[in-house]
Amino acid sequence: MKELKLSAVNAPLQGELEVPGDKSISHRSVIFGALAHGVTTVSHFLDGEDCMRTVDIFRAMGVSIDKEGSQLKIVGKGRRALTEPTAPLYFGNSGTTARLMLGILAGLPFFTTVYGDASLTKRPMNRVVDPLCQMGAHIDGRKDGNYLPLAINGDTLSGIHYHLPVKSAQVKSAVLLAGLYANGETTVVETSLTRNHTETMLQAFGADIEIEGKEITVKGNQTLSANDVYVPGDISSAAFFLAAAAIVQGSSIRLLHVGLNETRTGIIDVLKAMGANVIVEEVHSKGGELLGNIRIAQSPLIGTTIEGEMIPRLIDEIPIIALLATQAVGTTVIKDAEELRVKETDRILAVTEVLTRLGADVEATDDGLIVHGKTPLTGNEVASYHDHRIAMMASVASLITNGEVIIDDISPVATSYPNFYKDLDHLIK
């Protein structure tokens, strides 16, 4: 537990900042580099706790991964070179590691056991386990394999045609990764487009993949070739500074080299819908991913409605969007976001309780939030719910509260953004 006391600084945010590498892409760069043949160099890798879990797991299966600062050198020898780990694999708090690795472990010719921390142990895994079992996987655990810890008896898999029942890039990716080494073809059909970093990286590493709208097909028993990866800045991390600059009087900042994948830029669309003074510039492509710079300055905000196919494009940003909504004139409605119930914590509950304790007018619904603004915020003691995004949301809120905000535990921030507070201090003038 690491308590933090924060007081409103009464100063604008000014200057430039490069946010750390994208968490989703960092995870996948390790996975594909380890599965490929050859040496993959990953630049601007996010060395937060979550991504390092993925590194540690492949090291435990015999892959050579050297790290120097934010650069990785991965010596891949293909899937068949992976060896049975001598101890259970620990996923920590990383849902991405857990779900994507299940897709890989299910088709490896050996036995593994996997487990996570107290929070991850409560998160549902049957959304991944069920389709993998349809492919022939042998996975067992609590509640018929719905919760960690799990035991996986690797076996030969067969391709399936699978309609995603949830809007989840993790589930999609797990099935595609399993299909990469299964017999036959595997097709995943989405109801709404989710982040497509797995598909983009499959193409970059030479995989045979077909994408037609919301339908993705991979051929089985493929060989991947090493490919260097540059990880753009994480827009989910950038979102906290975008929100801070939008609501702190006199602020004007520029965020550099931020990932602008269209499946992730919902936060920018929402900021514009709320009337924020936000400009995206110098957009270019690198390794199949778009990136660019984002300028934003404080301006009056108005409420908006966020729903439908917009939700998967900003699911991780909803906590900070809810804070934005407290400072917008009118009502902001967020719906179709039931996925928030099964994140690191129940984020609908956590956001409602934290912002209410700070004086906001927030209602929780089954699938989202209703925020009535504009309301002044006051200091109080709040819980982080062991969730990095809740802790960072409360920290940004402290910039405008009348009184001190005391967060019970900010240690979860290290899972995605170890230098968050240093970078926030850098922008406060």
Instruction: Give the chain's largest Cα–Cα span.
Output: 61
Active site residue 50: no
Q: Residue 391 has which token pair?
A: 């802790």
Token representation of residue 335? 């719906």
Check: CB of residue 263 under 8 Å from CB of residue 233.
Answer: no
- pLDDT for the residue numbered 5: 83
Distance, in Å, from the CA atom of 401 to the CA atom of 407, rounded to the nearest integer, reads 13
Rounded CA-CA distance 89/110 in Å is 13
Q: What pTM was estimated for this model as a whole?
A: 0.93
Q: What is the mean pLDDT of each run of 10 residues along the chain (429 residues)?
A: 79 95 96 98 95 97 97 96 97 94 96 95 93 97 92 96 93 97 96 93 96 95 96 97 97 97 96 97 92 97 96 94 98 93 85 97 96 96 95 97 95 93 93
Cα 219 to Cα 210: distance, rounded to the nearest angstrom: 9
pLDDT (0 to 100) of residue 339: 85
DSSP letter at 13? B
- Could you tell me the two tokens for 340? 């928030």
User: For 282-387, where are the alpha helices, taking DSSP H only?
Assistant: 318-326, 347-357
Residue 52 class from Cβ within 10 Å (0-12 exposed, 13-18 middle, 19+ buried)? Answer: buried
Cα 65 to Cα 17, 76, 144, 292: the distances in Å are 28, 9, 34, 29
User: What residue spans of 91-234 are helical by DSSP H?
Assistant: 95-105, 126-134, 142-145, 169-180, 197-204
Cβ-proximal residues to 401 (8 Å cutoff; 6+ apart), any chain: 8, 358, 359, 377, 378, 379
What's the CA gap between 332 and 321, in Å, rounded?
9
Catalytic-role residue among 22, 316, 336, 387 = 316
| Dihedral (Cα; 106, 111, 117, 119), 10-degree rounding | 30
Helix (H, G, I), strand (E, B) or coil at 188: strand
| Beta-carbon contacts of residue 122 (< 8 Å; ≥ 6 apart) | 147
- Looking at the chain, how many residues does it have? 429
Q: What is the pLDDT of residue 3?
A: 85
Determine the pLDDT at residue 34: 98
Spatial CA neighbour of 91 closest among 68, 67, 60, 64: 60
Strand 252-259, strand 305-306: pairing:
unpaired
pLDDT of residue 145: 86
CA–CA gap between residue 267 and residue 15 (Å, rounded): 21
Peptide bond into 374 cis (omega under 30): yes
Predicted pLDDT at 229: 97
Quote the CA–CA distance of 357 and 343 in Å, as a whole number.
21
Q: Cite the beta strand spans of 34-137 per DSSP E.
A: 37-43, 64-68, 71-77, 89-90, 111-115
Residues 6+ apart with CB under 8 A from 251: 12, 13, 14, 244, 245, 296, 297, 298
Structure tokens at 145: 């394999």
**Tokens 């895994």 belong to which residue?**
125
Q: What residues have CB less than 8 Å from 58, skipping those under 6 apart? A: 30, 31, 34, 65, 74, 82
